Structure 1
Amino acid sequence: MTRLLVVVPSETDPPARLGSWLRTAGLDLDERHLGAGDELPAGLDGYDGLVLLGGPQSSTDDAATSPELVGVRALLGQALAADLPTLAICLGAQLLAQVGGGRTRVGVDGPEVGATLVAKRDAADADPLFRPLPLSPDVIQWHHDEISELPPGATLLAGNPHYPHQAYRVGRHVYGLQFHIETTPEMVRAWAASDPVGIAASPHDLETVCLRAEAVHPDVEEVWEPFAGRFAELVRARARQAA
């Protein structure tokens, strides 16, 4: 069985639908829930890919503030060095940018929350995961920090007018997504209830943010479940090479 390490920094952002899609695509998921006390492996030996999810931690947190992220950063460094198939989402994408030599900061235009669109960049047409996506796919946003500089040599794959660095690739197989594709409507509602600052930054009230997100979840699934399947194929290809 092809093994995928799934790192969950917070129980507020579990793999949810993404985990189901990846299992359906034939991957064996080893989930490590840091908020529930799970330990990270020392390294990535024995794994064919890595998924790193989000959480309420800030990418600017130091080791004293978020000690659980120290090991996460170390694993990202190993994944980059090995060009291991990796999908890093929201906080994960910000940490990936930092480890790769880019920069993050508190978002200069404030939080970005709720259902929105991102737009593919020209380089996406040559990318095996992004090429089949529609030009402007639906996504769910929920972040206060931004990726202000991509890692040197990274390929920008998607952006939007609010924050330009929405999706990128480092090397051939390491991907960062600033947005969410894994959510359920219940997850979004929980985030909205716990984030009055984020809601205040939106042009919509809490209930409207939640209803708009609920309405686009079928479209998110239609577009991003096949994307997850294409990522799973990268992981399977890595496993075949290692066999």
Structure 2
Amino acid sequence: MRQEPEVRSYAVTHPAGTVVPPQPPGWHQVLLAASGAMTVEVRDGGWFVPPGAAVVVAAGETHRIRTTARTRLRNLYLRTDDPGPTRVVAVVGLLRELLLTAVARAPLSRDVPHAVALLDLLALELAAAPAVEPLRLPMPDDPIARVVAARILADPGGSDGIDDLCRGSGAARRTVERRFVAETGLGVARWRRRARLAAALEALARGEPPSRVAAAVGYATPSAFGAMVKAELGHTPGAVLR
């Protein structure tokens, strides 16, 4: 009797926009943009995922994908051993080829010898893949902090000061700062800088020129913007996207 498959796949090319991939219960997922870049959003925040990286999503983690340009999404569903916590990993060389091959050949069952070999090697390579420290923007749960976060996200490059952003939120700036730090690990100014960076990288992934992107997120010159990106991520904007 043929076994139930342990691996299924979902391959699709999406225009820019928000995608909620199928999320069957009990299945872990590996999300790869075969071309383009994406932002993966979960309940407590989101990650900008650069080219050459994938997101391993543990079963039960509700998520959605936001793409900024036409993107080839390759989604692998695993009903095997727990692949570990939700994280971003580097996908190069053999692991990339294994993922693309598994997506193309799925569904895969362990009663097929070639499938067994592919799945075992894929599991080893996925476990050994180095974690990538992505651009993460954690969202606060506190309702007052969320009001301020929403104002920042609505206009990442806005010129309002922190006092202006906090005004009318339901608490004084000092209280808002404490709640941001307690829930996200970042003060309001640092959180806004991270939000600006996320918006900028999405725009760069769409192909917008750096000078326009820098101005849109509140930086007078591309060099000032580049210095901020390097301070946050340790790389220039171009290196991050490569």
* Alignment TM-score, normalising by the size of structure 1: 0.28
Larger RCO, structure (CA 8 Å, separation 6 or more): 1
* Alignment TM-score, normalising by the size of structure 2: 0.28
